[in-house]
Structure 1
C-alpha cells in the first residue's frame, strides 16, 4: 500500500471515530478543508465512498465501517509496537493521553505529573477534562480516571485516592432566611444546584444513603451546570445547595465559607481509580505515569 494511503487512512479513522470533521480537525491539528481534501482523495483512489456527509453529521458508509473495524485495529497494533520499540531506549518517550473530570485534573493528576516533565523531556502528556464515561479504547486514551464503581471490569485499575465522602453544602448566607434541611423531603423545598450529565444529557439524581437505605433524589432548583467547579462557585455565592465531593467542599466548610448539612445522608463513594487496557501494560511511559499518579 502506498504510504500516502496509510497517512490518509489515519485521517479517515480520526473523522470516522469522532463522527465530525470539526472535532477530528481539532484533534489532528489540521483545518477542516484539509481533512475534506484528504478524504476525497482517498475515496477517489479506492473508488468507493467512505463517509456519508450531511449538514448535521458524518458517518461511515458500509465500506468506511469495514475500514474502521478491520484496518483501524491493525494500525493501532502497529502504533503500539512502534511505541514498544521506543521504550527500549534509555528514557521513556511518547504521548500519554488521559481523560478525567476537571477538578481531578487540577487537584490530583497535575500535582503528581508535573514533576515528571523536567526529568523526562521525551514524555508528552495530554489531559482532557470530560464528564462523559469515555470508552478509552475506542477514543484512544491511554488512561481514564473515574470513581472506582465506574471502572469497567476488563480494565486494569489503580487506586489514586481514598474513598470520597460526599457533602451537601451551602453558604451561610443562603441559610440566613431558610431552615436547614434535615430530610429528603426538606431538600425538595430548597433551591438545589444540579449537574447535567454529559453522557445521557439528563440531570444527576443525588445519590443519598440514610440508615442503610439508598435513595436517588431528583432535586429542583434554578441552576444547572455541567461542571463541579461551577456548582461549587454557585454555592459559595449563596445561590443554593450543592452535592459535591468533600475534597472540593471540605476546605470551604472548614473556613466557614460553606456550611455542611445532612451529613448522615451523605454516602462515601469508592475512591478515584486510573484504569487502562491490559494490552498497554508493558509501555514504559505508561508505567511511569501510573506509578507517579497512584495513591502512595
Structure 2
C-alpha cells in the first residue's frame, strides 16, 4: 500500500476505535485494515494501537501521530472541496494576451462585462504585439488577428475583417511623390513592423489585377510597436502599413494620408483563441460566452474606413 492509503487506514481506525468499523467505512475487509496498520507500525518501528478482544485504543505514539495527521488531512480535504467551486461557479484568474493596438477593446468592453457577471474571476492582462505561445508563456487565452492564430487552437471570431491602410504624412508625399501602384512602394522608404521574438518582418498584403500578393518593401526603419510606427510616419520618415484602428484620428485630421486604398484588402478580424484542453474550465466557458455576446452585439468590431 502507498503511504497515503496507510494514512487513510490509520485515521479510520483512530476515529472509530474499531478495525471492523474502519473497514466498513473504507469499503475493504477488516483483514486488509489490520494488515495495513501492521505494515505502518513495522515501517516506522512503533506500536500505534493497543488491541484487545473488546476494544482498540491509541498508544502515545498513535495519539501523537493522530494529532499531526488529522489537521493536515482535513486541510487537504478542504482544498479538494474548494475545487468544487471551480466546477459550479466560474472563478480563478484569467491571463490574457492581446496586441497593444487592440487592448482597449479588452479594457473597455470585455473585462467590465466579465467583472460584472463573474466577480470571482480575476484578470492578468498583457499587451504584446508579437506572437505569443499561450501554453509556454502561461496564458489562458489570447486575442490576435486570425492569420496569427495557430491551427491547434480553438478560435472564436470577435468581429468583422480588419481594415488596413498604406499611409504617410503629407510632407513625405510632397518630398517623394505619391505612389500610383502597389509596386511603386518598392521605391519608397518603408517603416516596417518587426516581431519581437522571431525578428520576422511581416510582408504587406496587397492586390492588383491579378489578385492578392505579398510585398516585401525595404526596411530602412523598423519597430516592434504599431504606435511607434504611426509616430514615425507622422514625422514624415516613410510610408507605413497600419490598421485603421491605430490611425483613424490621424486620417480624419490630415496628419496622415491614405494611398492605394483599392489595393489594400481587409484582413481577418480579431479572434479569441485558447488551447483545446482548457475549453471546459468554467472560467474559460464564461470568457467565451461573454466574448461571443459582445461579438454578436458588434461591440468588438473595429473602426471602419471613413
Q: Give the TM-score of the pair, scaled to structure 2.
A: 0.63
Mapped contact 1:209–1:266 kept (Cα < 8 A): yes
> Is residue 201 from structure 1 mapped to residue 196 from structure 2 by the alignment?
no
Q: Secondary structure at the match of 1:126?
A: strand
Q: Distance in 2 between matches of 1:244 and 1:237?
A: 15
1:133-165 per-residue CA deviation (whole Å, 9 max, x = no partner) reads 322223331112221133233322111121012
RMSD of Structure 2 on Structure 1 (CA): 2.6
Q: Secondary structure at the match of 1:216?
A: strand
Q: Secondary structure at the match of 1:112?
A: helix
Q: Distance in 2 between matches of 1:92 and 1:180?
A: 54
Aligned to 1:279: 277
Aligned to 1:86: 85
Mapped contact 2:131–2:195 kept (Cα < 8 A): no
Aligned to 1:62: none
Deviation of residue 283 (structure 1)?
2.2
Alignment of 1:101-180 (within 5 A): 101-106=99-104, 108-115=105-112, 116-117=114-115, 120-180=118-178
Q: Distance in 2 between matches of 1:184 and 1:252?
A: 22
Q: Distance in 1 between matches of 2:147 and 2:121?
A: 30
Mapped contact 1:83–1:283 kept (Cα < 8 A): no
The structure-2 alpha-carbon separation of the partners of 1:129 and 1:233, relative to structure 1 and needing over 3 Å to count, comes to same
Q: Secondary structure at the match of 1:289?
A: helix
Q: Distance in 2 between matches of 1:186 and 1:152?
A: 33
Instruction: Give 5+ residue unaligned stretches, structure 1.
Output: 3-80
Deviation of residue 112 (structure 1)?
1.5
Mapped contact 2:134–2:142 kept (Cα < 8 A): yes
Alignment of 1:248-287 (within 5 A): 248-287=246-285
The structure-2 alpha-carbon separation of the partners of 1:84 and 1:278, relative to structure 1 and needing over 3 Å to count, comes to farther
Aligned to 1:51: none
1:115-144 per-residue CA deviation (whole Å, 9 max, x = no partner) reads 233554422111222233322223331112
Q: Give the TM-score of the pair, scaled to structure 1.
A: 0.65
Instruction: Give 5+ residue unaligned stretches, structure 2.
Output: 4-79, 297-306
The structure-2 alpha-carbon separation of the partners of 1:142 and 1:191, relative to structure 1 and needing over 3 Å to count, comes to same
**How many residues are paired up?**
216
Q: Distance in 1 between matches of 2:257 and 2:204?
A: 18
Q: Which of 211, 218, 225 lines up with 2:209 in the alignment?
A: 211
Q: Distance in 1 between matches of 2:218 and 2:190?
A: 6
Q: Distance in 1 between matches of 2:234 and 2:82?
A: 46
